[in-house]
Structure 1
């Protein structure tokens, strides 16, 4: 009996210890103190962030003191009418600090591609000069409940891309979450225009077929309050320089 009682106590103690360890692990992940991915500068020399009004007022000069911060994707718009209130301030701050800016649009499944493109282009009206390709944020989180067929989605995204490329003279790229990739993107948009989101591991075995990788969503950096998304570019510095667009540089058409 005594041995059984001691065994039960030991089992309970071990269980509590494991639960405590697991809780600490989850807590440190939630607080941004640890993360799954730590891409090395030797492998990914061009690293950056993506931000929106959720980060509040950003001290770009302080952030730019971090040697690995080379670029920032900044939210410009969402759907057919919404515009990020911090877009121009973030764009100007990043540019002044020597951080290469790029703009992204949150694509909703409930509005037409053309109307969304007009909203995005309107938000971009005040920016000029070198920039990263415009990005289209494709994910279910924060989106509407509508789920169009793949053909309908493809047509709306193509309509969006045609308007944006014509106005900005730069081909869009596509930010996709794993869930959205499986539902709408796999086999259709795979390739060098993809910006992957995977905070658990790198690129899910897709080899060379991606351009950017969002590897963390709870990063911490001096100059910004709270969390910030962390990203890397898939290439070297020369590749990154060639990627940059200028609004006055003509571009050719594309298909999706």
Structure 2
């Protein structure tokens, strides 16, 4: 059963949700154990950007998160103007963004934000497709996609090409998640503010801890 089917089983549950957060080198110190003790169970950590940047805090954050008992994974900040999606997926996987079916590693996340990098909507869809397909071929998993409703509509024309396979991480700093773009029936993770008490941005997983572990298992 695909992850979409697994998560669908709990979408209608009584507001099942699991707290989490995301971090990068901008958070030089993170209280991983404090986050876990407060209820957080996952963290997404910046690994790479484009084809030349490796986050200098990735290993420290990854180790700290692991030691605290958090389910963790890496993310890649896309630079579509600099190279193909496939090249960036390879760079990401080679520098922390891989995946293994150990129950504690989230599939990698493709971070899509900012401007449209000079690409047409069809060109951006092709770029994302290139990244997604290469990541899948390298790891056996489809990556998560992080975006906003506005970016997705502007830069991809609200493409529905990824809703069947790639879990959606939606960013909206509000008390409600708002419109879900791209044909996704629901979000998997919602980043709802940029001021997490223990470091980084606040996230919530749309399901139970059992479903979160399934996402990390494949």
Q: TM-score range by the shorter chain?
A: 0.7 to 0.9
| Higher RCO (CA < 8 A, seq sep 6+) | 2
Cα distance in 2 for partners of 1:102, 1:179 equals 25
Change in 2 beyond 3 A, CA 1:113/1:104: same
Q: For the structure 1 residues 240 and 125, does the alpha-carbon distance in structure 2 shift closer, same or farther, using more than 3 Å as the test?
A: closer
SS in 2 for 1:219: coil
Please provide the CA RMSD for this pair: 2.3
Instruction: Please show how residues 27-106 of structure 1 align to structure 2 within 5 Å.
Output: 43-66=15-38, 68-106=39-77
Aligned counterpart, 2:201: 229
Number of equivalenced pairs: 196
Of 146, 150, 159, the residue aligned with 1:179 is 150
2:85 to 95, 113, 119: 113
Q: Kindly state the Cα deviation for residue 102 of structure 1 after the two structures are TM-superposed.
A: 1.1
Distance 1:77 1:106 in 2: 6
SS state at 2:173 partner: coil
Q: 1:218 aligns with which of 195, 213, 216?
A: 195
Q: Which has the larger radius of gyration?
A: 1
Matched, 1:167 2:135: no
Q: Distance in 1 between matches of 2:131 and 2:202?
A: 26
Going from structure 1 to structure 2, the CA distance change for 1:125 and 1:214 (only over 3 Å counts) comes to: closer
- Judge conservation of contact 2:42–2:70 (CA < 8 Å) in 1: yes
SS at match of 2:178: helix
Asked if 1:238 is matched to 2:210, the reply is yes
Distance 1:231 1:82, change over 3 A: same
| Counterpart in the other structure of 1:124 | 96
Shift in alpha-carbon separation, 1:125–1:241, aligned structure 2, 3 A: closer
Shift of 1:132: 0.9
Give the gaps of 5 or more residues in structure 1.
1-41, 247-256
Shift in Å at residue 208 of structure 1?
4.3
Displacement of 1:166: 1.9
Runs of 4+ in 1 over 3 A off after TM superposition: 125-130, 189-192, 205-208
- Give TM-score, length-normalised by structure 2: 0.81
CA shift for structure 1 position 123? 0.7
Distance 2:97 2:124 in 1: 26
1:121 deviation in Å?
1.1
Moved more, 89-98 or 177-186: 177-186
| Distance change in 2, residues 1:196/1:43 (3 Å) | same
Is 1:139 matched with 2:113?
yes
Which has the larger helix fraction? 1
